[in-house]
Structure 1
Amino acid sequence: MRGMVESRPDWCLSRQRAWGLPIPAFRGPDGDVVMTPASVRAVAKAFEARGSDAWFSESPAELLADWDPSQDPGVADDLDPASLEKMYDIFDVWFESGSSWAAVMRARDQGIPADLYLEGSDQHRGWFQLSLLPALGATGAPPYRTLLTHGFMVDKDGRKMSKSSGNALSVDELLKDFGADVCRWWVCSLPFENDIKVDLDFFKVAGESYRKIRNTLRFLLGNLSDFDVDRDGIALDAIEPASIDAWALAEAVRVEQRVRHAYATYAFRDAHQVLYDFCNETLSSIYLVATKDRLYCDATDSHRRRRTQTVMHAISDLLCRLLEPVVPHTADEAFRALRGDDAANVHLAGPLDLSATCDHEWSAVINLRDAALKRLEEAKADGVDNPLDAGLVIPDPEGTFAPFGEDLADLCGVSRARFETGLGEVEIEDLRDEPRCERSRKRDGTVRERSDGSLLSDRDAAAIGLDPAG
């Protein structure tokens, strides 16, 4: 844009057209043009009260009712407004739109400069530049803090889209077929700086991606049906740093920071990718899989289950707030499901500012999980197809992984995990000859027949009210 401004010709502000915003100039009896700051303000006051069409329907005396020539040093003291003749040049429409910062922001006491001007790349010669020039002349400063320029939509082959070419897409049909949130989710995924290829198949892909986000929220909310955060919640700063819940919360903190930074810098594609990866990988592939057993099988009020629900509540709340700028209908629906219909609107909720303390060895635990999953895949060749038919033997010569023992089995999807100091790599135990819990399907070494004839682990027996020792 600098080059365009440096090379631009002079700007002629007037146009000789039959319709437009009139330049408030009059011709005096001697043929001179009458237009002073005071007379312009008087006409502006008339326009503000009765619209710019007043220029065509009212006399000069009516238009200048609030102007006193005797107090205006720019004209003769005895000038009679009734003797003036209206002139009919109009402003260049670009001057009109280029002055919108004054009419929209300054005149309404919203302050200038505006935070953002947003338009297509062609507006470097248009609105961007022609807003800059009047503002520099009137105030000495640009009318905006930031410019954001986007490309144009073209078809999948890069051709301009138009009705006459038969390759245009109807926005109404897109909204009807895919919904507003899917369309917005697709737009958020785009590198908007360049021209954007559009095809119906792209919206179908965006729909699948959006459903991953929505289904993640549904799973989280579905597992909070018996949870009241005020009654059952645990203070977030009291969550054990070695627990998988502390890890998930720490990941959520990083996501909040990255997404908020992306929004602040208009890096919407980055925000889209971070949110999708968090839902698809961190939550769906790791955390929600690992905690499903305790949600379904632990005693309702067990500390471990309530701790997980506390973190799920915080993550649900955070996702609603972070998704709100992009998929507002989904975020509003989920937020009301989480907090009730009487809760404050998610669009006014603001940032959550989560904080978390997570054990620094969690990165090593995640690497251990990757190694364990690889060994489990190899164990299928030996007939161990179901991970719950397996146990892990984990090398831990320095006691690094022992503090994570409560969660390691669930993290890897197996029935149990134990540690050996002299082991070189992760080993798989075949547990198929051990009894299986009829409730959790685990073979954790405590499964036996109970007083009611069922085969249950100690944990599952206690959860349904049976004496674990009986």
Structure 2
Amino acid sequence: MSEQRDYRDTVFLPKTDFPMKAGLPQKEPGLLARWQSEGLYQQVRENRAGQTKFILHDGPPYANGDMHIGHALNHVLKDMVVRTQTLLGKDAPYVPGWDCHGLPIEWKVEEQYRKKKLDKDQVPVEEFRAECRAYAQHWVDTQREQLKRLGINGDWDNPYLTMHFEAEATIVRELLKFAESGQLYRGAKPVMWSPVEKTALAEAEVEYEDITSTQIDVAFEIVESPIPELVGAHAVIWTTTPWTIPANQALAYGPEVEYQIVVEPSGRRLLVASLLEDGVFKRLSGAFDDYRWTTGWRGKGSDLAGTVGRHPMHHLGGFYAEPRPFLPGDFVTTDSGTGLVHMAPDHGEDDFELCKAHGISPKFIVEADGRYREDWLWLPRTDERSMSVINPKFNAPEGPVCTDLREVGALLSASTDYQHSYPHSWRSKAKVIFRCTPQWFVPMDKPVIEHIDNRQEQRWENEGGAQEPKKTLRQAALDSLDQTRFVPEKGRNRIGSMVESRPDWVLSRQRAWGVPITLFVDRKTGEYLVDPEVNQRIVSAVNEKGVDAWSDANAQTLLGNQYDAADYERITDILDVWFDSGSTHAFVLESGRWPDLQWPADLYLEGSDQHRGWFQSSLLESCGTRGRAPYNAVLTHGFTMDAKGEKMSKSKGNTVSPLDVMKEYGADIIRLWALSVDFTEDHRIGPEILKGVADQYRKLRNTFRYLLGALDGFAESERVSPDAMPELERYVFALLGELDAKLRKAVDDFDFNTYTRSLIDFCNEDLSAFYFDIRKDRLYCDAPTDLNRRAYRTVLDTLFQALIRYAAPVMVFTSEEVWQSRYPDSASVHLLVWPDVPAVSADTVRWTALRGLRVQVTEAIEPLRREKTVRSSLEAEVTVPSELVPEGFSDSDLAELFISAAVHRADSDTVTVRKSGDAKCGRCWRLLPDVTEDGGLCDRCEDVVAQLDAVS
């Protein structure tokens, strides 16, 4: 036999320089530098100028510390929103920003002072603020480079910072709008207070941790009552904050709760709620030998009206000798305790409101550092009595409060085993207290808001022609939430319930680094000055010099000639930092500094914790000044947990740094992870998860690599009309159409998990494992002019044009690399618009059945492959049940679709396989009847080789 010819040079294998190995950590920085040098962000702006706008307003991350995985997830999602909207042809600018004021930064600068053993209060406030500003700027610059490294395309050279003078002036202007409309008041109310940081805190600045506290039962002797049996008895209260007993001014009962007298062995009579007797007994029984109850008077709480008790320390006289009235409190329950609650209006919201309603005022007993006042009668600052009230030793059974109560016989029980959730400052991690101090508030329930119908500012009039009554801030906010889209929908109820129940907004903080509450208060009347001309001078001064413009030295200049600075108190408190961030919509969307933006925003996107943070502060600020929310839609994401589903913590050592991930894998892997998880819920990340994501990335990369290689040299002259294509090609077009519709819906729903997974599944299952696998024979072996090969390459080109666009918002670096590999002289892939997909129909039900049968055939062949009976499916001769074959497919069609030697039909229930007895084509490797001997050519290959030989 003569030597057989080597036909490898006649086979059209894919050809591309696009590497299989990604090397993202090395390639991505170069692409970033290119985008920056070419001004990609500005190119996109110019490209989309005049189109429908889509405005995502960036919620400002805090300017302290390196980017963490939460930052990465959040900004990838924002970038995905902006890029997909841009892909749809919209003008979707992105202006990043940072929150720069507030306690976290001030606290860090103070730490630097403490390390140097310096007192920050001895430093001129302007100098201290300058250090805070420099600290914030350092972290803005650091985070900016880290976020850019993720491939986030935005106006990085011109971000918004709340410490920009123009921003500070806008915040002041927004505050003064509240003042001018009567939406500010100064009042003394209990607020959450951090003794460590010496300032009031907002709810959003508080986190709850489980602690174990001292619980005590204390007896208050009843000295007056319309019920004779109660006089001389002792009302029992229960509390987990012994330190509040010195501030007690009353006792509260539940009007519908049943109470009764029980008698201890000593003969002392105790008043408790009937339903709580067992719990009281368990706590008190250890304090008395052979403790037994005997019952006495029983009645409803409403019967206690007019009853008066006295403080256990009444013998000290003065404040403690004053009567302690029994007051009705709807908040009193029988869930725990004794059914009677001691009232300290200095240290509780319910306490304050109930006492206020009965003419009882707070005494301001506890100072800013959490210690009792030096002059306070009961607890002068000596020894352990000088400790902060949050110190566990102060509240312990051996502490000063319990010791004094025990000495007068009022301490019935004390134990250190009560476990409960308690608020802590999320910055210092120290416990907070409720402390009554003079603060500035925005009222939630004062009718001051003009009615604004959804998006059009207009006054509504009733049938009688009278103007509709003004709304409260609470009602305006709730109405606006009804008009807002929430993704996921459950966010609506979450923020709605918070707005429904929230107290008045505490605006003031007793710190230095922030925007001041720029109010002058008349020393005689206590009213703050409302003068538009003065307010304009204040805004202008801050716009020119920043917050340092608000000073005693400038007071007379700001007031002008009409007022004497000596007659006014210049408020020195600063604003709650949430008011700063809640005002960013005014500075960023309305100021004109970024002319591409407009108000309101189409979307706010942050973590679910911002329902009580930025989403809510923005809502309240905007409703208070504009009558509606500054956003049309709100998207929230969950939190990133470790691989076990546990909360990440540096102390646990289970954190995942996006900076480290980018060094090992590249930014596209983080992006693919962030857009693959169900981010609307809490989700996970870890080494194994990232390995899985990297594997998915490799499959997507190889899909594009195959497309690039298979399309090598593709020319428009090859293109085939869908009408002239084989049925398989038309079916793939139909699948592409389904994918296109699914992705469009996912973009509209902000469902990026579905978007990304649908794209991955299409590439892996419909293309790589099905279409590419079947058609590689046509690509490799058909003649270049063959209609079937041309049709395949036409479909591949259409797939490439669509898939590169679909993938561009997800894998921003890789998609650019792929695009430039095919079109090295073209503009960026990120300037493209959503693809036009051919509208081709196909009998997808029939093809789905065929693919199901194909899976059965593949499974039937696999055992023969493992046994090495056949080396590939090309050697397998398959018999399939006739009833499983959809109409319209010939046996030769099935052989091609199953990638087998031959297919037969039979009236059987199962698929059977045997090795074909035909010879193997030396070029296409198929076993066919028209091949006379192994290594010879089939009819098709013989024709193709003849054509090639003739040309050469």
TM-score normalized by structure 2?
0.43
Instruction: Describe how 1:223-262 pairs up with structure 2 within 5 A.
Output: 223-228=710-715, 230-235=716-721, 237-240=722-725, 242-262=726-746
Structure with higher strand content: 2
Instruction: Describe how 1:49-68 pairs up with structure 2 within 5 A.
Output: 49-55=544-550, 59=554
- Of the structure 1 ranges 94-103 and 84-93, higher mean CA displacement relative to structure 2 is found in 84-93
The one-letter amino acid of 1:352's match is P
What CA distance in whole angstroms lies between the structure 2 residues aligned with 1:146 and 1:175?
31
Shift of 1:181: 0.7
What SS does the aligned partner of 1:163 have? coil
CA offset digits 1:173-221 (Å, max 9, x no partner): 1110111111111121222233333322211111111111111111111
Aligned to 1:288: 772
Instruction: Describe how 1:14-413 pairs up with structure 2 within 5 A.
Output: 14-26=508-520, 33-55=528-550, 59=554, 79=562, 87-108=571-592, 110-228=597-715, 230-235=716-721, 237-240=722-725, 242-338=726-822, 340-360=823-843, 361-377=846-862, 383-384=869-870, 386-391=872-877, 401-402=887-888, 407-413=893-899
What SS does the aligned partner of 2:928 have? coil
The one-letter amino acid of 1:213's match is L
Structure 1 gaps, min length 5: 70-77
The one-letter amino acid of 2:539's match is A
What SS does the aligned partner of 2:505 have? coil
CA RMSD after TM alignment: 3.4
Shift of 1:384: 4.9
What CA distance in whole angstroms lies between the structure 2 residues aligned with 1:262 and 1:172?
29
CA offset digits 1:7-27 (Å, max 9, x no partner): 100013233432211233346
What CA distance in whole angstroms lies between the structure 2 residues aligned with 1:295 and 1:413?
14
The one-letter amino acid of 1:464's match is V
CA offset digits 1:443-462 (Å, max 9, x no partner): 2333247xxx9611121122
What CA distance in whole angstroms lies between the structure 2 residues aligned with 1:142 and 1:182?
36
Structure 1 415/23 Cα, relative in aligned 2: closer, same or farther at 3 Å?
A: same
- Of the structure 1 ranges 129-138 and 106-115, higher mean CA displacement relative to structure 2 is found in 106-115
Shift of 1:341: 2.7
Is the CA contact (8 Å cut-off) linking 1:98 and 1:131 kept in structure 2? yes
Structure 1 199/57 Cα, relative in aligned 2: closer, same or farther at 3 Å?
A: farther
- Of the structure 1 ranges 303-312 and 453-462, higher mean CA displacement relative to structure 2 is found in 453-462
Is the CA contact (8 Å cut-off) linking 1:24 and 1:35 kept in structure 2? no
Which structure's relative contact order is higher, taking Cα pairs within 8 Å and 6+ residues apart? 2
- Of the structure 1 ranges 394-403 and 145-154, higher mean CA displacement relative to structure 2 is found in 394-403
What SS does the aligned partner of 2:581 have? helix
Structure 2 gaps, min length 5: 1-494
Structure 1 88/282 Cα, relative in aligned 2: closer, same or farther at 3 Å?
A: same
Does 2:941 align with 1:456?
Answer: no
Shift of 1:6: 0.7
Is the CA contact (8 Å cut-off) linking 1:20 and 1:93 kept in structure 2? yes
How many correspondences in the alignment? 447
What CA distance in whole angstroms lies between the structure 1 residues aligned with 2:848 and 2:687?
40
Structure 1 263/398 Cα, relative in aligned 2: closer, same or farther at 3 Å?
A: closer
- Of the structure 1 ranges 351-360 and 53-62, higher mean CA displacement relative to structure 2 is found in 53-62
What CA distance in whole angstroms lies between the structure 1 residues aligned with 2:644 and 2:832?
42
What CA distance in whole angstroms lies between the structure 2 residues aligned with 1:279 and 1:15?
55
CA offset digits 1:388-424 (Å, max 9, x no partner): 2234567779996446677532220113457x7x856
Is the CA contact (8 Å cut-off) linking 1:298 and 1:463 kept in structure 2? yes
Aligned to 1:73: none
Structure 1 50/231 Cα, relative in aligned 2: closer, same or farther at 3 Å?
A: farther
What CA distance in whole angstroms lies between the structure 1 residues aligned with 2:884 and 2:656?
62
Aligned to 2:118: none
- Of the structure 1 ranges 259-268 and 249-258, higher mean CA displacement relative to structure 2 is found in 259-268
Shift of 1:154: 2.7
- Of the structure 1 ranges 139-148 and 203-212, higher mean CA displacement relative to structure 2 is found in 139-148
Structure with higher helix content: 1
Shift of 1:378: 7.1
Shift of 1:374: 4.7
What CA distance in whole angstroms lies between the structure 1 residues aligned with 2:798 and 2:719?
10
Structure 1 311/38 Cα, relative in aligned 2: closer, same or farther at 3 Å?
A: farther
Structure 1 268/398 Cα, relative in aligned 2: closer, same or farther at 3 Å?
A: closer
Shift of 1:45: 4.0
CA offset digits 1:352-400 (Å, max 9, x no partner): 1313324313334323423443554577789455322234567779996
1:4 is matched with which residue: 467, 474, 498? 498
Shift of 1:61: 7.3
Share of identical aligned residues, percent? 36
Is the CA contact (8 Å cut-off) linking 1:60 and 1:85 kept in structure 2? no
- Of the structure 1 ranges 320-329 and 150-159, higher mean CA displacement relative to structure 2 is found in 150-159
What CA distance in whole angstroms lies between the structure 2 residues aligned with 1:382 and 1:347?
49
Shift of 1:256: 1.7
The one-letter amino acid of 2:757's match is Q
What CA distance in whole angstroms lies between the structure 1 residues aligned with 2:868 and 2:521?
100
Shift of 1:249: 1.7
Shift of 1:148: 1.9
The one-letter amino acid of 2:778's match is R
Aligned to 2:89: none
What CA distance in whole angstroms lies between the structure 1 residues aligned with 2:903 and 2:879?
6
Is the CA contact (8 Å cut-off) linking 1:116 and 1:148 kept in structure 2? yes
Is the CA contact (8 Å cut-off) linking 1:243 and 1:404 kept in structure 2? no
Shift of 1:286: 0.5
Shift of 1:281: 0.9
Aligned to 1:75: none
What SS does the aligned partner of 1:456 have? coil
The one-letter amino acid of 1:79's match is Q
What SS does the aligned partner of 1:439 have? coil
The one-letter amino acid of 2:946's match is G
Structure 1 45/194 Cα, relative in aligned 2: closer, same or farther at 3 Å?
A: same
Is the CA contact (8 Å cut-off) linking 2:582 and 2:614 kept in structure 1? yes
CA offset digits 1:288-340 (Å, max 9, x no partner): 100111111111232211211111111122121112222111111112223x1
What CA distance in whole angstroms lies between the structure 2 residues aligned with 1:402 and 1:382?
33
